[in-house]
Structure 1
């Protein structure tokens, strides 16, 4: 995650020029970096996109948390994972208003502790969200492919222990973000970023973000769902086609939203560190800003992908919305669920129950 680093890089390079090459005896192709246009673009683009992501993300994930808390007496392992996934996204979204303000005025006004704290929340929310998606994938794999082994471990106690372990792991992975983040005074502005000169942090950040945050989760999804889809297709369930479509959408959303950013991040790390450290890489910086911002929209899709496609969850959501908007009687949850349940009774109940784990 390099959002703060990108802003610091832009701020630094837009105000500090290196003219040493102009006075050297040998000709050079390098020239001072001027990222003013890129900064002006970021001042408009980042706050706008961050604001949209925050509004949609808080509404969707907040509704998921409210529903799961309201129906906590009927909590299952899947509900525990959904709650933690939504809460992870909320922790991640909490940081975006601060970074939106920072990118808009080019000045960090919240102090050193908040700089470190926001960086930790940013990383913790991201990694915990990814880890809970991996857990839900593994849970679906065991329930569908190895159904006879599922009952022994899918308990509420196991869900609580697993959730606490994932949060501790996420916090441990994110702790370097707290250590290496700092506020730096640069003439007339203050910047909040990680220590860009520390090679240990740069290597750690790129490895953890790309390997732990993308490659391993993506491999788990591909392997597990490649086993789940054939099993679903062999079931006599009216829901199997819908479940397969959801799986394809789930993996595709994760891949197309996060892979472009991670590729750009890795290329920027290589070029700025090893290949051509003296170049400006303006186009690559622009790609980083755009791909990173669109990757953040994944936390807005999580409630739709993992929660609102389920009939039981949708029924509860509609009931809650009808209570919040008493005059709205156009949505009949009773008709929706009754017709759906009557339709599903045509096929095997066990097959429908397993397919419901997906949707």
Structure 2
């Protein structure tokens, strides 16, 4: 932050007063109320549903594939882990939105923001990797598919994590907890004045978060679907519908947020100075961001639960849990019956003695 002397402040006092008045006029309690009331509720729902779904996917894959994971299993596991990293940050943002304060300190500010960005990019990049993997398996089944293996999948996932970390570094480096008042802190990225880092991060999220992944996925599935159409299989229609659902869901959930983010980046470049537009944009960012967040809840449904093999294994685990719970309940019932019988006998003896 550049230093400002007293003379400069005196010369531009009117300007600062006008700017402050404009900010006050442009402030809208609706956005603040939405953040305070609705965001914690929506974040909590995404956290619970996403944690259950992705946690179940991780548990099933680790329980059944610890020794003989395929490349598809490896990619699916890392996709679930990246979604979990993203989801873990939501309770902190929920508390921050509800109280308009960050009480967790500077280290947690950087750590939570790092998990958020790492999970954000990781989830999208692993979806791209799985699309490329399916393209290789279906379109180039003979020439390239033989090179698919668990070590290859692990190596590619390592590359994806490295790329996600590099994409997250600018936000992680510039993020800090800042004291706004005596008892109020904020946690956000504070980019140096006179630089374009803020705009770079916004446009980077547009490029790496939507344009590039959507282009790769459209290319892959545009080649996959004609190949499936030519197959004589009873399952081809289900596979085609799944391919279309993957593209449609990704586009519907992520495009509104990226459009709002792009407009917000343009506003930081002073392209839009209208107050009403600013207020509408701030509110649309909140809504579209929450919509994009819910995509991590759908990943387990789209990529795991629609698979028959995964369904069988999840049902087997569910049966084991139910049998374990029923055995525990039966054991508890037996103990309760024995205790009840002992208590009734002692009661009879006591009653006889009293009489």
Specify the TM-score bucket, using the shorter chain as the normaliser.
0.7 to 0.9
Structure 2 Cα separation of the partners of residues 144 and 195 of structure 1: 46
Contact 1:30–1:278, Cα closer than 8 Å, also in 2:
no
- 1:241 is the counterpart of 2:242: no
Match of 1:266 among 238, 256, 262: 262
Report what 2:7 is aligned to: none
Structure 1 Cα separation of the partners of residues 81 and 316 of structure 2: 22
TM-score, normalisation: structure 2: 0.82
Contact 1:261–1:295, Cα closer than 8 Å, also in 2:
yes
Contact 2:114–2:172, Cα closer than 8 Å, also in 1:
yes
Report which stretch shifted further, 225-234 or 69-78: 69-78
For each residue in 1:173-198, what CA deviation from the matched residue of structure 2 results, as whole angstroms up to 9, or x when unmatched? Answer: 11111111011111241100111564
Report which stretch shifted further, 167-176 or 289-298: 167-176
Structure 2 Cα separation of the partners of residues 236 and 205 of structure 1: 47
The alpha-carbon distance between structure 1 residues 264 and 22, as it changes in their structure 2 partners (threshold 3 A), is closer
The alpha-carbon distance between structure 1 residues 219 and 326, as it changes in their structure 2 partners (threshold 3 A), is same
Residues 111-260 of structure 1: pairs in structure 2 closer than 5 A: 111-187=105-181, 188-195=183-190, 198=193, 199-260=195-256
Contact 1:180–1:201, Cα closer than 8 Å, also in 2:
no
Matched length: 308
Q: Once the 2 structures are TM-superposed, how far is the Cα of residue 276 of structure 1 from its aligned partner? A: 3.0
Indicate the structure (1 or 2) with the bigger Cα radius of gyration. 2
Where structure 2 has 5 or more consecutive residues not aligned to the other structure, the ranges are 1-14, 327-355
Match of 1:299 among 296, 303, 321: 296
- 1:316 is the counterpart of 2:316: no
Where structure 1 has 5 or more consecutive residues not aligned to the other structure, the ranges are 1-16, 24-28, 330-359
Structure 2 Cα separation of the partners of residues 120 and 327 of structure 1: 39
Report what 1:46 is aligned to: 39
Structure 2 Cα separation of the partners of residues 239 and 161 of structure 1: 31
Q: Is the partner of 1:149 in helix, strand or coil?
A: coil
For each residue in 1:61-100, what CA deviation from the matched residue of structure 2 results, as whole angstroms up to 9, or x when unmatched? Answer: 0001001111123310000000000000000001000000
Q: Is the partner of 2:145 in helix, strand or coil?
A: coil
Structure 2 Cα separation of the partners of residues 231 and 64 of structure 1: 29
Q: CA RMSD in A?
A: 2.1
The alpha-carbon distance between structure 1 residues 31 and 111, as it changes in their structure 2 partners (threshold 3 A), is closer
The alpha-carbon distance between structure 1 residues 147 and 205, as it changes in their structure 2 partners (threshold 3 A), is same
Q: Once the 2 structures are TM-superposed, how far is the Cα of residue 306 of structure 1 from its aligned partner? A: 0.4
Structure 2 Cα separation of the partners of residues 20 and 144 of structure 1: 63
Contact 1:272–1:279, Cα closer than 8 Å, also in 2:
no
For each residue in 1:194-251, what CA deviation from the matched residue of structure 2 results, as whole angstroms up to 9, or x when unmatched? Answer: 1156443212211210001110000011111011101101101000000111111111
Match of 1:286 among 283, 287, 304: 283
Contact 2:136–2:145, Cα closer than 8 Å, also in 1:
no
For each residue in 1:11-59, what CA deviation from the matched residue of structure 2 results, as whole angstroms up to 9, or x when unmatched? Answer: xxxxxx9632699xxxxx9863223231112111111110000100000
Contact 1:119–1:181, Cα closer than 8 Å, also in 2:
yes
Q: Is the partner of 1:75 in helix, strand or coil?
A: coil
TM-score, normalisation: structure 1: 0.81
Q: Is the partner of 1:248 in helix, strand or coil?
A: helix
Structure 1 Cα separation of the partners of residues 217 and 320 of structure 2: 37
- 1:77 is the counterpart of 2:60: no
- 1:102 is the counterpart of 2:96: yes
Structure 1 Cα separation of the partners of residues 92 and 24 of structure 2: 33
Residues 2-21 of structure 1: pairs in structure 2 closer than 5 A: 19-20=17-18
Q: Is the partner of 1:147 in helix, strand or coil?
A: coil
The alpha-carbon distance between structure 1 residues 153 and 30, as it changes in their structure 2 partners (threshold 3 A), is same
Contact 1:50–1:293, Cα closer than 8 Å, also in 2:
yes
